[in-house]
Structure 1
């Protein structure tokens, strides 16, 4: 099934799940994995999306799909719609650049579930009804992408409301994110043993506890990176990284560019 409008496109299909053609689209593209693993290749590295996770390609990101499990679900959003949503939400910024990170978020999962169910139940309904539904759905998704998608517009990792134990650990990590944390200490904050904690954290967020903490440190550093002249070394150490090399390495993994390049592109010009 394909629905499209001037603001974007929604695709849901169960065939051609192992295409190998390179694509480069002038839109944002959210890909969600409803059933299992999806593999995508870019010219800057491979991306894996596990069950229940989502990922956002930026405009003109050259990529190709290697594999999708059982179903491919994607939504394309025109930059003009996302820009309009950003203006209404107060993100006074250059066009958002989303990070190369896949993870789970309950609100995105619920939106996808609702849309999939609606379209399945209304397969064969009038095109006008589906078109009206699509237009409103694209606006909703634009807002959620900005709120829950990690990128240049964020000053920290998006809020995720999880199980109480995980929420307690996340709260503790946020309060002292620039300090050293062991897995045992994280698990103690969640009142779980470290094996239960690591498994539950990964199941809920799609990221390991330490990966989440490192990403949180990176996104907390972005505001200072874009709005101050502090050195990259100073920013790295202030936000809990052991060295500037580890900060640079994670930044290149997340954005495929160095902090200095990111600052030059997205920083407010004086």
Structure 2
């Protein structure tokens, strides 16, 4: 597995290495984590993306990058391979090239890879219900027997403010696994939204995406279980029969800092 991190805000470059170490230790999955360099605010450099050529599964936690074309080549190559792909939260708006830029089409990476809205805002009105809100999550009844939901509580709570994706996303053909209800939303018209789904993208790849990903969410055992199950499912492996126990992923939310 190759994890690709660079998200400004949610500490993916800190949570994902802990998750990767747990996968190596307890589940026998070889991992590699590559990050924006020299820090999470470095929007134009993620060295090491050539590791994707050896990946059986690529996991993205990105936000508003402007990578050079010579780095994007590796992501494009991976997406075209039809190998499975996973994304967290801001990966729906992973890239943010200016209007008219030769690479502007990459701003719709989330739609291509995961079936999310094609970037933040825009015609799809991809937004959230305010930084003072949190989210109650529940299993979609029709999906309750999906292997990814093995051992996941029917209801749990996360710190992520709820992202809006409806009515046009996730893309047609996606299977909704979890729904979210905003708690203390900044709108009286808040609508419940899917927060995790599977999909087959245009390259034929098996997809798992979740709009959850606040660092405190990684402390929630049901979310941990969801992610570990999804990784096994994406790799074509049976979900673990024995849960190895709650992981110690204690990364504080820092917001966007320089």
- The TM-score by the shorter chain falls in which range? under 0.3
Task: State the structure with bigger RCO (CA 8 A, min sep 6), 1 or 2.
Answer: 2
TM-score (norm 1): 0.23
Structure whose CA Rg is larger: 1
Bigger fraction of residues in helix: 1
